[in-house]
Amino acid sequence: MSDHPPEEDPTMELPADAPAAPYTDAPRRERPESPLLDEDPSPALAFLGCSVGGLLAGLAAVSVIVVLQLPVTAGPGLIVLSLAMQPPMLLGIVLALLAGRIPIRRGIAWHSVPWPTLVLAPIGLLGASILGDWCGTAVWHATGKNQGALQLIAESVRAVPVGWRPLMIIGLGLVPGLCEEAGFRGMLQGSLLRYGRVVSLLVPALAFAVFHGDLVQGTGALVLGLYLGELRHRTGSIVPGVAAHAVNNLVAGVAMSMASDAELARMQSAPPALVAVGGVAALLCLLGARRGRA
């Protein structure tokens, strides 16, 4: 007689009171995913997004010049042109993310953060802007170069009719705040995270500086770009950067609209003590920045 238990007959019926077998899900066929899905965008995809965005921005610029026939070298036409070019740049980034099958919110690092971080971020950027203004002024005095793009923007802001200035200042705050952060700190910085923290901070900050047109304004933009990049690194999100960028542009727009010609020509920076306070404030706000809950 064999000691082995008898094999079960698959055709044998179970008693009515036998416990039911546990239910298990049948294996499901999932749609194949892109190799980039749930990852940060690659540098090639970021380059594609910037290229497509630049092309669309150029088309928007031509459309503004041809359709509206505004003088775009100075005055209100320059403001309209600069604002009209930014949304197409953001559209190029979105199209590249869709082509790479990367969720847009992940591709531009749009994640919620605690509300104290949203409060600290603009305060810190205003402090960093004082430091950046001091650095830009030092470069101006050292090289003998004039304010260039910064003075041109200030003169263009003041050339806008008074009744339209509030709308223009709001546009200068909100539109670049969203579009530039999505491009530089969102997609570009995200694509460089694989190369380490230093590279992912420096490259977008340098690109942000070049984007601002000249050596003087670019020097200040470099300081702001480093602050915004570190803010994005610490929070994992561009949301506090968008808020900070918008507030900073709003404050700058109001200041430029109220400045006199003599004040613009002098371009004096803040006293050294205030510059030091601004730098410390920026550092403390960065240390207080927190990520949102997953």
- Give pLDDT, residue 34: 36
pLDDT of residue 294: 61
Taking the chain (294 residues) in runs of 10, the rounded mean pLDDT of each run is 53 54 47 45 91 91 81 75 90 94 93 96 96 88 70 79 86 93 95 94 96 86 97 96 96 82 64 93 96 79
Distances in Å between the Cα of 58 and the Cα atoms of 20, 65, 135, 211 are 68, 11, 31, 14
* Confidence (pTM): 0.83
Q: Is 103 left (phi over 0), alpha (psi -120 to 50) or beta?
A: beta
Contacts of 255 (CB under 8 A, 6+ apart): none
Predicted local confidence at residue 5, as pLDDT: 55
Q: Number of helices (H) and strands (E), helices first, in the chain? A: 12, 0
> Sign of the CA dihedral 200, 203, 206, 208?
negative
Helix axes 197-211, 215-235, angle to 10 degrees: 140
State the pLDDT at residue 263. Answer: 63
Rg (CA), the chain: 27
> What residues have CB less than 8 Å from 50, skipping those under 6 apart?
89, 92, 93, 183, 187, 188
Separation between Cα atoms, residue 1 and residue 11, nearest integer Å: 24
Q: What is the pLDDT of residue 230?
A: 97
